[in-house]
Amino acid sequence: MNDTKTIRLSTLTLIYKEETREAAEIIKAAFSEKHGIVPEELFGDIRKEENFIQVKIDGEYSPRRYTIDIDSKKSTVIIVGDDFETLYYAVQRFVRDLIEESATVAECSIDSKMLIVSDPCIITYNGKYYLSKFIAAPNGGNAVKGYDILTSDNLYDWSEPVHAFIGEECTDPNFDGFDNYWAPEICEYKGKFYIFATYKSKASNQRGCAVFRSDKPDGKYELITKGHITPPDWSCIDNSLYVDENGDPWMLFVHEWVSMPDKIGSMCACRMTDDLTDLKGEITTLFYANDAPWNPKNNVTDGPFIYRFESGKLAMIWSGCATNGYCLGVAYSENGVLGPWVQDKELIYAKGIRDYRFGRDGGHGAIFKSLDGRLMLSIHGPNQYLQKALHCFELDITGEVLRIK
């Protein structure tokens, strides 16, 4: 079917198993809010071999695995998933894309393999999106071994991962990583591509931050720092590049709570050499986890990323733990990287703070421009190992305040 069809919503039936009830509740809430329809429920153990929801609009249903299919005769929408996380985010996307603004849709497909990725970072280059992620062990735990790059044309359909760096294959004598290959952040700087990333050192037994470089975004990356460039007696994670208005590079990073005397994490920054191979000058602590007005008991600092407004004002998104779980906050500075940084009382993302898109906890954000020029935010959620999925939102910067549209 190539022609666009209009579905007039009048009745909706949900059929789901008990373990998919939470996803069904999202559909019910969205339909009720947008269309004034309270879905009728048919509950039962209909298919023991599958975890699924079937959504019926004005007609009969007939299962179509992993697709959203608008049939002009039956006006049927079916969402089927093999596991809860796949289904949950498929439902969110269905509600957002197909019924949030209108019910006019064309036949489309949905990626059943929702991208499971922790600490996502995305850049655009030559008409494509490039996403960096760490390589997760399929059986859980921290047995990860390097960093991957994926590509996409549309932020929905992603390529198979390309190994950008494998720790076991690195022959650089400065490298002694063996675990916790976390939070690779891809970026472009002076015509080269870099991954700012975390790994755990055999020598210090600490997590620390390093920098890797490649000639192309999905190429092989080589270590360019002499191992960790963060203090060897600190546990440091989540380094990020920021280039200031003078073109000077800075590295942001987390001084992790586990190595702090009071177990309160902090956010740090330091100037870098122009070739990004080392830090330059003194490390400055910018703020602490419990500075967050949304939870004074928070002790976690994760994932710093700076965005500069046209006026020169800076916004730093970062993650911690609110009373409703892992979340994304923001701090502002009118005076460059070294601040002072003022924490916003309102969170950018947290479970339950707005509509159905905020149905789970999530965070560790990065900001990028879409191929059509929109300012976008990427996060992962929920914050559970091997269940973290990629979510992208358009940002609103009205009044030089960051918010999700």
Q: For 172-192, what is each residue's pLDDT tens digit? A: 999 999 989 999 999 999 999
pLDDT of res. 140 = 44
Q: pLDDT-derived band of residue 352, with 50, 70 and 90 as boundaries?
A: confident
Q: pLDDT-derived band of residue 84, with 50, 70 and 90 as boundaries?
A: very low
Closest CA to 245 of 333, 169, 121, 185: 333
pLDDT of res. 20 = 55
Q: To 5 degrees, how large is the angle CA 372–CA 185–CA 366?
A: 50
> Which tens digits make up the pLDDT trace of 10-37?
444 454 555 556 656 665 665 566 555 5
Task: Report whether pLDDT(386) > 70.
Answer: no
10 compared with 315, residue with greater pLDDT: 315
* Average pLDDT of the chain to the nearest whole number: 79
Neighbours of 395 (CB within 10 A): 19
In this structure, what DSSP letter does residue 154 have? S
| Buried-state track 127-163, b at ≥16 Cβ within 10 A, e below 16 | eebbbbbbbbeeeeeeebbbbbbbbbeebbebeebee
d(CA 115, CA 105): 24
First to last CA, the chain: 32
Neighbours of 251 (CB within 10 A): 24
**Which pTM was predicted?**
0.76
Task: Report whether pLDDT(103) > 90.
Answer: no
> Which tens digits make up the pLDDT trace of 295-310?
999 999 999 999 999 9
d(CA 28, CA 17): 15
pLDDT of res. 36 = 54
> Which tens digits make up the pLDDT trace of 57-69?
433 333 332 233 3
Out of 49-58, 162-171, 387-396, least confident range = 49-58
Task: Report whether pLDDT(100) > 60.
Answer: no
Closest CA to 365 of 324, 330, 313: 330
- The proportion of the chain whose per-residue pLDDT surpasses 70, expressed as a percent, equals 69
Which residue matches tokens 């910067």?
397
Out of 138-147, 160-169, 202-211, least confident range = 138-147
Task: Report whether pLDDT(248) > 80.
Answer: yes
Q: pLDDT-derived band of residue 94, with 50, 70 and 90 as boundaries?
A: low
287 compared with 79, residue with greater pLDDT: 287
> Which tens digits make up the pLDDT trace of 127-156?
999 999 988 654 444 444 899 999 998 887
